[in-house]
Amino acid sequence: MASNADSFEDDIAELGSAEEFLDYFGVAFDVRVVEVNRLHILQRYHDYLAKQEAGKAPAYAAYRSWLARAYEDFVGSSAQQEKVFAVFRKADGSSFVPLSALTG
């Protein structure tokens, strides 16, 4: 029999879209914000999760909190302002992003 942790991990492994994550964790959202920023929200969420202590499995409440925070980052801001992806960050004041930075 699977433990609750296994069930939770199985549940989130099945989620595929920003809307599915937000619905699963019960985070209220504006569809217009998600339509414009869905990939940015999910990447920011991933970035927050990656900052966890190695080997420490976060609980549902922590996952929900980070997702809500990632979503809120884009409610009053934009992808250009938040600079989640390298294409929005400028290297040495230019718009050039080397290919190695995108594949790395």
> How is 74-96 classified by DSSP, letter by letter?
TTSS-HHHH--SGGGS-BTTBS-
Inter-residue contact 83 to 75 (CB < 8 Å): no
Q: What is the domain extent for residue 26?
A: 4-103
| The model scores a pTM over 0.75 | no
Angstrom distance (rounded) from CA 101 to CA 104: 5
Of 76, 79, 99, the residue nearest 89 (C-alpha): 79
Distance of CA 26 to the CA centre of its chain: 15
Pair 87, 43: CB distance under 8 Å: no
Number of domains in the chain: 1
- Residues found in the chain: 104
- Those residues whose C-beta lies under 8 Å from the C-beta of residue 2, and which sit 6 or more positions away, are 10
What does the pLDDT read at residue 1? Answer: 38
pLDDT, tens only, 11-43: 888 998 999 999 999 999 999 999 988 888 998
Banded model confidence at residue 78, pLDDT cuts 50, 70, 90: low
